Amino acid sequence: MSRSYFHLHLVSDSTGETLINVGRAAAAQYEGVSAIEHVYPLVRSRAQLERVISEIEAAPGLVLYTLVAHDLVDRLEAACRETGSPCLSVLQPVHALLQSYLGAQTTARPGAQHMLNAEYFKRIDAMNFTLAHDDGNLPDNLEEADVVLIGVSRTSKTPTSIYLANRGLKTTNIPLVPGMPLPPALEQVKRPLVVGLIASPERIVQIRQNRLLSLKADDSSLYVDRDAVAGEVATSRRLCAKHRWPTIDVTRRSIEETAAAILDLYREHRLRFIAS
């Protein structure tokens, strides 16, 4: 199938993360079509907007925006009409619904969701904790974690931990290495949610081979032997079953999907922990 391309302009008065996620989620529904993204964050003045408009004029396409200043919105929409570029405010329908439900007017505050509040500093604290407890470091502090991830090598423990930390969860991850004992504290933890990350042996071997190739290392060891890897995965499953720790198969999951499943498990875990 031949692939077609279109220009997608994402104009934000904040970081642009909302627009990027919305744009990519929508574009992913169309096979054979790819967006050429033009991202313009922190557009808060007329001069900044005029530079954005000049780029839209040079490469017309779809325009999504999250501007809240009315004068900037009016100027952008007028420019889009002149260039024949369809434009849409991603937040306006949500604002309209909230306004109707709450009976209150909005206050234009660009980037209000990124204020340095308690939630922000909670995420910073979680990130610092997670980085310090990566790959089995500081195992005696497991009880201080919100989530403990375990799994054999190459099951995305570290990137998943960092993603969860960005959501405010103190996360530590412990590798399951053949012949290496587990930290004694792991089997005694009460407060954290312990989750096992598993994947198919074929997928793990593939990732490990690519890893060794990038390091220009020998690939003849048990590290990439299919039967040995299958044994590691089986041991991981038995360990989690023994302790009734939930498992998540990450073979075909993105980090975001894995993290979403863990967050769902964590909510249930906290409710049970509080009730006990």
Annotated binding site: 151-158
Amino acid at 226: R
Alpha helices in the chain (DSSP H): 17-27, 46-58, 70-83, 92-102, 118-132, 157-166, 201-215, 226-243, 255-275
Burial grade of 176 (CB within 10 A; 0-12, 13-18, 19 or more): buried
> What is the Cα–Cα distance from 274 to 276, expressed in whole angstroms?
6
Question: Which residues does the annotation place in the binding site for ADP?
Answer: 151-158
- Whole-number Cα distances in Å, 267 to 146, 178, 211, 273: 11, 32, 34, 10
Which residue has tokens 């809240």?
68
